[in-house]
Amino acid sequence: MSRPVASFVSPPLPTAVIGAGSWGTALAFVLARKLPAVTLWCREEEVAAGIRNNHRNPLFVSEFLLPENLHATTDLAEVVKNHALLVLVTPTPFLRPTLRRIKPHLHAESCFVAASKGIETGSGALVPQIFAEELGSAWEERLCFLSGPSFARETLAEQPTAVAIASRSLAFAQQIQELFRLPWFRTYRTSDVVGVELGGAVKNVIALAAGIADGLECGQNARAALITRGLAETMRLGMRLGGRPETFAGLSGLGDLVLTATSTLSRNHQVGLRLGQGQSLQEIMAGTREVAEGVPTCQSLNQLAEELGVEMPITRAVYHILFENRSPRSVLEELLGRTPGTEFEES
């Protein structure tokens, strides 16, 4: 790994996006607006063929025409060997096996942008920890994380969007910040990797809670309360893990939370809405191709909070509904019946 940090992406290195769901397709679209060519690795041959032949992703965001300089393939080993900058947009439950697949093919110029959001089931590991465990600390200077309020469809429609770029390497963060920057896609950098990743993970669980409340027709007061108290939960856990409070008030914290918990475009909000309306989780998940990251994240988050002794009542309430088959109405009543406390810790 002899290539200096300052030259990782300037001049642009061969770049590939790994993961061709909605968000992976959107990030590949953003990069194709800046680079001569971008490769998108697809798990399904159907997706790769659709992009090659029709410049559309036939399974996800199919209404958007993709640039001709965006190429698609299903050969993961060749992608890793022939591209230096790898943007991983893999759902968190599949991130570790994906890293194990690509590790033998990494080379001296390889570097990463991780756009996965979640907490690994079983281990309770955040995305940065998964990278460290699978690739080792030597890659830390070549790794950053992208998160923030950003729906794929609005990004593909070139509507104004702002995201956070987090890395422990300032030089690498600056390079990636510039690489992704477009007139309608604004990037902000930070060194708070833990805060950025945790905010992106927990907001999906709070969005499930907001959706459940909407399904129960609790009203907008309740939604606002859930978002606010959900942010308080996020901050309690985040600061315990070393995140900075200001990060949770930023794009990857409050910004992403508000977007995901209030919009009909949010998969997690939609899953919660249908749960609140009386559908079972099995029914909902059987009818969708895209992953609602809040479901597996809730299980991991609840376990992590218990292990660390961090109070997260909204997360616990969602866990009861998802994994203990409790009725949303009874869980809501239990949540509202908790002993009142102070809003903030008082000295």
Catalytic residues, which ones? 203
- Angstrom distance (rounded) from CA 127 to CA 77: 22
**Phi then psi for 118, rounded to 5 degrees?**
160, 180
Residue 50: name the closest of 30, 36, 35, 64 by CA: 64
User: Taking a C-beta distance cutoff of 8 angstroms, is the pair 296, 221 a contact?
Assistant: no
Tell me how far apart the alpha carbons of residues 193 and 113 are, in angstroms, rounded to a whole number: 12
Which of 93, 114, 125 is CA-nearest to residue 17? 114
User: Residue 216 phi/psi, 5° resolution?
Assistant: -85, 0
How far apart are alpha carbons 100 and 76 in whole angstroms?
Answer: 12
Q: How far apart are CA 198 and CA 159, in angstroms?
A: 26
The two most distant CA atoms of the chain are separated, in Å, by: 64
Whole-angstrom Cα distance, residue 218 to residue 212? Answer: 9
Taking only Cα atoms into account, the Rg of the chain, rounded to an integer number of angstroms, comes to 20
Alpha-carbon distance values, 247 to 22, 41, 50, 244 (Å): 26, 31, 39, 6
**Which residues on adjacent β-strands are paired with residue 126?**
119
